[in-house]
Amino acid sequence: MSKRLTMTDDEAMHVVGYTNPSGRYKFSDESAFKLAVEKRRLFREKGVFDKHCAERGINKDDVSIYWDKTQEFSVLVRPKASVDDLTPEYIEDIISGIKFDYKQLSSTISTSNEILRVIITDVHIGMETDSTGYGMFSEIWNEEEAFRRLDVVISECSRIKRNFKEVHVIDLGDYLDGWNGQTTRGGHNLPQNLSNRKAFDLCVIVKIEL
């Protein structure tokens, strides 16, 4: 059974890509109809948002976050967000899902004066080592390799373990290779083999495992 949806010309161009003089658009598929309704709703909300900013002299391009409040819901909206943005909500979701394996500290006071220092540097999570095929350092560097090298560090620590007074884990920097395909401070492009979110996830997991 087909369904029809009423739309203005602007809405129709956004939803279906053409206009109909009657302003009525026919959908024979239920899923296509529901998708059209949702796209029309989002387009209308954008129009209300644009009008609201114009009436108050606000540059809509400067708005990075706002609350959309109705009688039923209060929704935090990020107009420029993409599926790869590292939002506070995403970080909270990732952190809350981590199961920490807490170790009970020994009550025995160490009499040793030895300190174990585990030093890591230039991990460059997310780095694409050979995007052109002519790289000087074309070894594979991905999630699997990161965990393999982590195992090497942990195994070496286990091999030499004894009653150390203290254990220092020291990261000298460049743990993350880039952000949005550039250096983390911006400036020039860096080939990446992980999205922002996947790079963040891997950074967190590796540090926790260590």
**Tens place of pLDDT for every residue, the chain, 210 residues?**
678 888 888 888 888 888 888 888 888 878 888 888 888 887 777 777 777 777 778 777 776 666 666 666 666 666 655 566 777 777 887 777 777 777 776 667 777 889 999 999 999 888 888 766 666 666 788 888 888 999 999 999 999 888 888 889 999 988 888 877 777 676 778 888 888 888 888 888 888 888
133 burial type by CB count under 10 A (0-12 exposed, 13-18 middle, 19+ buried)? exposed
130 with 198, same domain?
A: yes
Helices (H), the chain: 9-15, 30-55, 88-96, 143-159, 196-209
Print the domain residue range for 123.
92-209
- Domain end residue (candidates: 32, 59, 80): 80
142 with 204, same domain?
A: yes
CA–CA distance, 182 with 205 (Å, rounded to integer):
22
Instruction: State if pTM tops 0.75.
Output: no
Assess if residue 87 is contained within a domain. no
64 with 128, same domain?
A: no
- Domain end residue (candidates: 45, 80, 115): 80
Domains held by the chain: number: 2
Give me the pLDDT at residue 117, please: 93
- Domain end residue (candidates: 80, 112, 132): 80
37 with 102, same domain?
A: no
Assess if residue 133 is contained within a domain. yes
179 with 153, same domain?
A: yes
Are residues 53 and 60 in contact, defined by beta-carbon separation less than 8 angstroms?
yes
Planar angle of CA 120, 194, 137, nearest 5 degrees: 60
Give me the pLDDT at residue 74, please: 67
Assess if residue 86 is contained within a domain. no
DSSP single-letter state for residue 18 = S
108 with 60, same domain?
A: no
